[in-house]
Amino acid sequence: MTDIDAAEARRAIDYYYDHGWTDGLPVVPVTESYLAEFLATTGRDPDEVLIPMPHLNKNLTVRLAAINAALAGCLPEYFPIVLAAWDSFLRDGMVTRSIWQSTTGTAPFVVVYGPTRQRLGLNSRGNVWGSGFRANATIGRAIRLGAINGLGLKPHVFDQATQGTPAKYSCCIAENEEDSPWPSLAADNDIGPGDSAVSATVIRSVLHVEARHTTAPEQLAADFADSLCRTGALVRARASGYVVLNPEHARLFDKHGWSKADVRAAIADQGWRTYRDLASAGKEAIAGGTGWRLPADHPDARPQETPEDQNTPVQLITSVDAVQIVVAGAPNAGVSSIVETFGPFDRGPAITKVEERYRREPAG
């Protein structure tokens, strides 16, 4: 093993801290030669703009994305996934609408599909939201560092999150295609079985759903609908999100003859709250300008009729497009999760195929 000057390494790490280039954790110092290894995995121009942020006078380029992937601890082989994630964020549209600056405390969410999951060691099974896997941790972190250093979204500056979320450090999972009874979300969106892909969007939170109590698919779907439509998550008029099913739950649905489309439809059908429920939380009306939920007597509320029966249902999930399903986690318990997003996926989820033409095998 080559001797390493630990003091010099610490000085380099502290230099990055002092310049505000970290997320609070140590980063990997980046040299021009190391950066070149990342750029060699793609044929894209280093000056190409991936994410424009004109209102901040910022642009995230391929070169900046590569620098931040290296800082995050990515291997160069991960960089095509990082690029596909940034392309998906652009297609998703939420990033350029200033949502990452929101007081809500938004975070980037990335899901990886296809052969590259296993080739690069992405975790799709146990502890999928947790630590322990370099590819998941550093790919998600590369996005966050890119937002900080490329787009200027630093806490207490342009990132105005009131409390934030742990997902701001890193939030990258892979679909557990091997243990799922259904095709992946990527396959649902015309990505071939030999191709790898990445979906990305902006999220509020990841909500744990403990559902070991039932083997009835209708009851399980009701649990997910109830979780998606909790009043504490209702900022806007409608509810939406990813349902990240563990394989046990996915197999339960499949055992009863339910397809993924059936699950989405059942969740959407049960995605309502009564007017009384909404009124008790002060969210029965919609603001005229922002479209946010607020009390009916608020001066910004749109005129509306109050139903005679306070138990009248108010549909909050108005389309199956508001519900996307990914299978991830270990097939060992009835534990799934809800990933809360900012609106229905009217054009489908933002999924980008990983450019495999420039793929490099990991160093042995």
* Model confidence pLDDT, tens digit, residues 213-242: 999 999 999 999 999 999 998 888 999 999
| CA dist., res. 42 & res. 40, Å (int) | 6
| CA dist., res. 15 & res. 351, Å (int) | 37
For the stretch 104-113, what's the b/e string if a residue is b when 16 or more beta carbons lie within 10 angstroms of its beta carbon? bbbbbbbbbb
Domain annotation covers residue 279: no
Domain annotation covers residue 10: yes
Nearest to 111 by CA among 168, 186, 37: 186
Domain annotation covers residue 202: yes
Summarised one tens digit per residue, pLDDT across range 297-306 is 999 999 998 9
What is the per-residue pLDDT for 163? 87
Q: State percent of the chain over pLDDT 90.
A: 77
Out of 1-10, 152-161, 318-327, pick the least confident: 1-10
| CA dist., res. 283 & res. 292, Å (int) | 9
Domain annotation covers residue 280: no
Q: Is the pLDDT of residue 364 over 90?
A: no
Residue 362's pLDDT band, with cuts at 50, 70 and 90, is very low
What is the per-residue pLDDT for 98? 61
- The larger pLDDT score, comparing residue 102 to residue 291, is at 291
Q: Is the pLDDT of residue 105 over 80?
A: no
Q: What's the whole-model pTM score?
A: 0.93
Residue 203's pLDDT band, with cuts at 50, 70 and 90, is very high
Summarised one tens digit per residue, pLDDT across range 123-178 is 999 999 999 999 999 999 999 999 999 988 888 888 888 888 888 899 999 999 99
Q: Is the pLDDT of residue 363 over 50?
A: no
- CB of 243 closer than 8 Å to CB of 325: yes
Instruction: Provide the domain count of the chain.
Output: 1
- CB of 149 closer than 8 Å to CB of 64: yes
- CB of 112 closer than 8 Å to CB of 174: yes
Q: Is the pLDDT of residue 183 over 60?
A: yes
Angle made by CA atoms 276, 267, 187, in degrees to the nearest 5? 150
Strand residue runs (E) in the chain: 49-53, 58-61, 107-113, 172-174, 197-210, 241-245, 272-274, 285-286, 293-294, 313-315, 323-327, 335-341, 351-353
| CA dist., res. 196 & res. 187, Å (int) | 10
What is the per-residue pLDDT for 342? 82
Alpha-carbon distance values, 288 to 296, 299, 304, 341 (Å) = 11, 10, 11, 21
Nearest to 146 by CA among 241, 64, 225: 64
| CA dist., res. 358 & res. 116, Å (int) | 13
| CA dist., res. 39 & res. 216, Å (int) | 50
Note down the domain range covering 109.
6-271+316-357
Domain annotation covers residue 282: no
Summarised one tens digit per residue, pLDDT across range 26-64 is 999 999 999 999 999 999 999 999 999 887 888 999 999
What is the per-residue pLDDT for 53? 86
Residue 4's pLDDT band, with cuts at 50, 70 and 90, is low
Element (H or E) spanning 36, and its range? helix 32-39
- Those residues whose C-beta lies under 8 Å from the C-beta of residue 257, and which sit 6 or more positions away, are none
Q: Is the pLDDT of residue 354 over 90?
A: yes
311: left (phi over 0), alpha (psi -120 to 50) or beta: alpha
Count of CB atoms within 10 A of residue 23's CB?
A: 19
The average pLDDT across 54-78 equals: 94
Domain annotation covers residue 171: yes
* β partners of residue 211: none
| CA dist., res. 185 & res. 193, Å (int) | 11
Domain annotation covers residue 1: no
Domain annotation covers residue 306: no
What is the per-residue pLDDT for 3? 62
Strand residue runs (E) in 84-240: 107-113, 172-174, 197-210
| CA dist., res. 278 & res. 182, Å (int) | 35
What is the per-residue pLDDT for 150? 92
Nearest to 343 by CA among 233, 257, 269, 261: 233
What is the per-residue pLDDT for 103? 79
* β partners of residue 313: 274
Residue 359's pLDDT band, with cuts at 50, 70 and 90, is very low
Q: Is the pLDDT of residue 190 over 70?
A: yes
What is the per-residue pLDDT for 159? 81
